[in-house]
Amino acid sequence: MDFSEIIIPGDTPGIVWRLPVIRFKGRDDAAPKVYLQAALHANELPGTALLHVLCERLRQADVEGAILGDITIVPQANPIGAAQSHFGELQGRFDLGSRTNFNRDFPLVALGERLSLTDDLDRYPAIEQLKRQLLHMALGADLVLDLHCDDESLQYAYVDEAFWPEAADLASALDMAVVFLADGESSAFEEAVGHAWKYERTEKATRLPGRLSVTLELRGTRDVYPDMARKDADGLWRFLCARGIVRGDMAIGPFKGPATPLDNIEMIRAPLSGAVLFHRDIGDTVVVGDLLATIITAPGREDGTIDIQAPQAGLITTRTSQRFARRGDNLMKIACSEKTKAARKPGTLEA
């Protein structure tokens, strides 16, 4: 095992960021190379816990000579975000300086331009340097897993259609309740990796056999517990064995959950502001017309509430932890079998 730190100079005097990187060297050059990263959204820590447990096992495997493919691990990918405590609350999703989502605006380059990502880094602000360093490491691998979580949520993954159904082994190993199939058209980390591979040659590739870049949503922000971290590490271990990255005999059963295109996700929004009373929880399956939530728009008045019903049948995958909604706030994501009638732009579901 090799432990190192990437040093990123801050944008103001006296500030230096340190990005820890853990590397395990594989014994077999033909085995796939893996890149694992967690907490790019700095307040999403289930992946950090998973990788901590996984590293314990990999150290043991290293001693036993059982690591076949190179493994690079960045267990806490965003020191800049982790330092953003604002009025007592960690702001881990958006960079307060530039107001950009830490998981957007990754440089979209072709694989052949990989080395240029880290050329003349000094001309970039710290956050851009961080993104370039992360993408540079990821593009040295064949399999890239970016570990996130949602707010209140089931275990699910965003998978570019270019990697489906090959990625079903990962979904099954990690016990995903559902997979969201994406079009790959955004500047999120996972999609910047996919972009580089798709444009490796002049003709854009639509299938990328032997490669994988996914965003895993490891339940909700509060789901950081020893038993969950161990269960997830078990799942990831099975995947690493099955793909020949560590030696081990682990079978993965077929993925039983639905694979749902983003166009089939119903984003349940608050039509008006108020206190939210949920009638249904994550993991519930609903039918059209089921009562999902009541919003108290005018407390104490006879006509002071509105009810929100399910627009179609589906599986409630995520729910907000907030109990006060502004108009337009997203309350739930429901994975459905039909396309949503709501207008949706290409790219990610959320800002």
**Which stretches of the chain bind Zn ion, using CB under 5 A?**
41, 44, 148
The nearer residue to Zn ion, 148 or 333, going by C-beta atoms, is 148
The Cα diameter of the chain in Å comes to 71
Q: Is 244 left (phi over 0), alpha (psi -120 to 50) or beta?
A: left
The C-alpha atoms of residue 40 and residue 102 are separated, in whole angstroms, by: 7
Instruction: List beta partners, residue 267.
Output: 333
* In the complex, least distance from residue 173 CB atom to Zn ion, rounded to whole angstroms: 20
Which parts of the chain are beta strand (E)? 2-9, 16-24, 34-38, 71-74, 85-86, 89-90, 143-150, 152-153, 156-160, 178-182, 212-220, 259-261, 265-269, 274-278, 285-286, 291-296, 305-309, 314-319, 324-325, 330-336
* In the complex, least distance from residue 248 CB atom to Zn ion, rounded to whole angstroms: 30
- Strands 212-220 and 143-150, by their bridges, are parallel
* In the complex, least distance from residue 289 CB atom to Zn ion, rounded to whole angstroms: 32
C-beta nearest to Zn ion: residue:
148
* In the complex, least distance from residue 104 CB atom to Zn ion, rounded to whole angstroms: 11
* In the complex, least distance from residue 31 CB atom to Zn ion, rounded to whole angstroms: 29
User: Cα–Cα distances in Å, from 264 out to 185, 329, 342?
Assistant: 17, 19, 10
The nearer residue to Zn ion, 46 or 69, going by C-beta atoms, is 46
**Residue 192 exposure: Cα atoms within 13 Å on the Cβ side:** 23
The nearer residue to Zn ion, 69 or 81, going by C-beta atoms, is 81
The C-alpha atoms of residue 217 and residue 149 are separated, in whole angstroms, by: 4
Q: Are 16 and 10 in contact (CB under 8 A)?
A: yes
The nearer residue to Zn ion, 41 or 238, going by C-beta atoms, is 41
* In the complex, least distance from residue 343 CB atom to Zn ion, rounded to whole angstroms: 24
* In the complex, least distance from residue 217 CB atom to Zn ion, rounded to whole angstroms: 7
The nearer residue to Zn ion, 134 or 241, going by C-beta atoms, is 134
The C-alpha atoms of residue 103 and residue 95 are separated, in whole angstroms, by: 10
The nearer residue to Zn ion, 131 or 148, going by C-beta atoms, is 148
The nearer residue to Zn ion, 69 or 92, going by C-beta atoms, is 92
